[in-house]
């Protein structure tokens, strides 16, 4: 898998102009959702390379990260004259970069694309690393491909357009990167004031967070080994996310991951010896900033079934986890009994209130 170029922008207009100009293309397309088409596309529309770009607009939210939206993008590319030599720019959050990247990877057997993430979550997670895909059959990211963008342009100026919930959603993935990297970065993330955001500090933290992910992806681009570290918090987190969607109360991805990390830190403590003081500090930060997801013991069976369908599992019916023996001390391909999984749900309910 080819390595993508990640650019921490000083001037998004100049950087996007250079990135687009580095490609020999016949037509340029921009995929955005209805929100980013309204709020973010005007910020880049006057860049010379973007003036003739053909917009392709899809619906807002994870419910639109589906086969119907993907087919619509394919259809627009075909109707508007895209060829194997066309270029696609994805302007938006993780839903846009995931779906747009998958459209690019599959149209005409693959056309080049550039990601311009506009949410904190997509900057530090979805837009970087080469994973693309859609939700299918009620399951998150069930269908997709490894197909990295040629360039990813990260400009934290877009973060100023976000509400606090969406900032926190992205910050959860940054906290995960802190937990799987080193104590200094983890401590710095926990110390940040999320009520009064310092955007200069955030830009620096984002750059470090992206570097953590890039380093891991470079070692294991197709997730056969250490890249599984990036799944920390996601086994339970994806179950929470699917459960919330099934219940008609969808939650932001980062919130589900934050709650999943509470559970998987407890499992790390029980099975790998993760230090109790670091467990308490991290859980306290998550409780203070993310609240909790509501479920009862009657929902344990449903949550467990969702975890059994997670694509990270290596054997049918056996739930696979990434655990931590300490901050930065990663244990991939760990399993837990159903009884232990129900215990971590108990821990979550008792600890999160």
**Residue of 10, 51, 109, 224 marked active site:** 109
Active site residue 227: yes
Active site residue 109: yes
Active site residue 213: yes
Active site residue 253: yes
**Residue of 64, 177, 208, 213 marked active site:** 213
| Residue 6 Cα distances to 39, 114, 211, 215, angstroms | 23, 10, 9, 12
**Residue of 65, 208, 228, 238 marked active site:** 238
Active site residue 238: yes
**Residue of 135, 173, 185, 320 marked active site:** 173
Active site residue 231: yes
**Residue of 64, 253, 278, 309 marked active site:** 253
Cα–Cα distance between 133 and 136 in angstroms, integer? 9
**Residue of 64, 131, 176, 177 marked active site:** 131
**Residue of 64, 65, 140, 223 marked active site:** 223
Active site residue 223: yes
Active site residue 173: yes
Active site residue 17: no
SS3 labels along the chain = CCCCEEEECCCHHHHHHHHHHCCCCCCEEEEEEHHHHHHCHHHHCCCHHHCCCEEEEECCCHHHCCHHHHHHHHHHHHHCCCCCCCEEEEEECHHHHHHHHHHHHHHHHCCCEEEEECCHHHHHHHCCCCEEEEEECCEEEEEEEECCCCEEEECHHHHHHCCHHHHHHHHHHHHHHHHHHCHHHHHHHHHCCCCCCCHHHHHHHHHHHHHHHHHHHHHCCCCCCHHHHHHCCHHHHHHHHHHHHHCCCCCCHHHHHHHHHHHHHHHHHHHHCCCHHHHHHHHHHHHHHHCCCCCCHHHHHHHHHHHHCCCCCCECCECEEEEEEECCEEEEEEECCHHHHHHHHHHHHHHHC
Catalytic annotation, residues: 109, 131, 173, 213, 223, 227, 231, 234, 238, 253
């Amino acid at each position: 898998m080819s390595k993508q170029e990640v650019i921490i922008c000083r001037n998004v207009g100049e950087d996007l102009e250079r990135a687009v100009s580095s490609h020999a293309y016949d037509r340029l397309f921009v995929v955005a959702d209805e929100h980013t088409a309204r709020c973010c596309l005007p910020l880049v529309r006057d860049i010379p390379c973007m003036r003739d770009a053909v917009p392709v607009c899809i619906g807002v939210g994870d419910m639109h990260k589906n086969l119907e939206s993907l087919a619509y993008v394919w259809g627009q590319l075909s109707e508007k004259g895209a060829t194997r030599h066309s270029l696609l720019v994805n302007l938006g959050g993780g839903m846009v970069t995931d779906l747009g990247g998958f459209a690019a990877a599959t149209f005409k057997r693959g056309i080049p694309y550039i990601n311009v993430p506009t949410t904190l979550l997509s900057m530090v997670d979805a837009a970087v690393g080469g994973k693309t895909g859609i939700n299918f059959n009620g399951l998150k990211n069930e269908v997709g491909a490894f197909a990295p963008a040629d360039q990813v342009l990260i400009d934290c100026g877009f973060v100023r357009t976000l509400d606090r919930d969406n900032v926190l959603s992205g910050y959860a993935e940054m906290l995960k990167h802190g937990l799987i990297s080193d104590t200094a970065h983890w401590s710095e993330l926990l110390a940040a004031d999320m009520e009064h955001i310092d955007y200069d500090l955030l830009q620096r933290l984002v750059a470090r967070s992206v570097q953590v992910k890039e380093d891991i992806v470079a070692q294991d681009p197709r997730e056969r080994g250490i890249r599984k570290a990036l799944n920390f918090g996601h086994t339970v987190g994806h179950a929470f996310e699917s459960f919330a969607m099934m219940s008609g109360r969808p939650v932001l991805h980062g919130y589900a991951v934050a709650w999943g990390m509470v559970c998987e830190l407890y499992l790390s403590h029980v099975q790998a010896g993760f230090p109790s003081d670091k467990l308490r500090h991290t859980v306290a930060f998550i409780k203070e900033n993310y609240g909790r997801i509501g479920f009862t013991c009657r929902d344990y069976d449903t949550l467990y079934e969702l975890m059994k369908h997670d694509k990270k599992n290596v054997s049918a019916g056996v739930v696979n986890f990434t655990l931590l023996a300490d901050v930065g001390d990663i244990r991939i391909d760990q399993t837990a009994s159903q009884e232990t999984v129900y215990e971590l749900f108990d821990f979550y309910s008792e600890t999160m209130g």
